[in-house]
Amino acid sequence: MRFLSATLILATFIFSGSAALGAEASGQHWQIDKEHSTIGFRIRHIVGHVPGIFARFSGEVEYDPREPERSQFYILIDSASVHTGVPQRDEHLRGEDFLDVARSPRIIFASKKVEARDGNELVVVGDLTIRDVTAEVRVPLKVLGIADHPFKDKMPNTKVLGLQAQFSINRVEFHVGSARWTQMGVMGDSVELTVDMELLRGQ
């Protein structure tokens, strides 16, 4: 059932796209500026930490600062784009022991609810799908601001939105590597995920 749920989320995203978002959200659609956005992770290795990124991702974002509770976020990550700077390690992460990209080519996040907090902070509640597991997560999200794009000749009448998120998941609960790696002292169970995004919207 969890796999079916993930498939339905993906199908809805692909075939409905922005229209599905517009039906519920407040109408301010933002495009991810991939040249100035990063989705990364960090995990303990023995007594240190190993950082990495996912180099390829896409998504749909609806955000209106006047009605932040009506925001929606759909993010698709190409699992095979995992990159830690060590090719042999990256291939291991792509294999059956960890991300199993042959069977699970996408990591999916689909928001269900957005809670406003003090200042420019939100909590985005949504379903995160990794491999064959879909589970609800709560993502603290900081809205860093909205500004006019400074390159007015190349990007006329364009607004820039900055978003930043940081949260942790238990990799074992998502079937990413077994608990044996933790028991051996090789790596931790907790994976810290980071999202730094700039998004663009024309007037």
Structure tokens at 104: 């699970």
In tens, the pLDDT along 81-137 reads 999 999 999 999 999 999 999 999 999 999 999 999 988 999 999 999 999 999 999
Residue 77, domain CATH:
2.40.128.110
Please name every residue paired with 123 in a beta bridge, in sequence order, or none if there are none. 115, 140
Q: Report residue 124 CA to chain centroid gap.
A: 11
Instruction: Identify the weakest region by mean pLDDT among 10-24, 51-65, 106-120.
Output: 10-24
Q: Are 143 and 68 in contact (CB under 8 A)?
A: yes
Q: Which domain holds residue 142?
A: 2-202
Task: Look at the chain and report how many structural domains it folds into.
Answer: 1
Residue 163, CA atoms < 13 Å, CB-side half-sphere: 30
pTM reported for the whole predicted model: 0.85
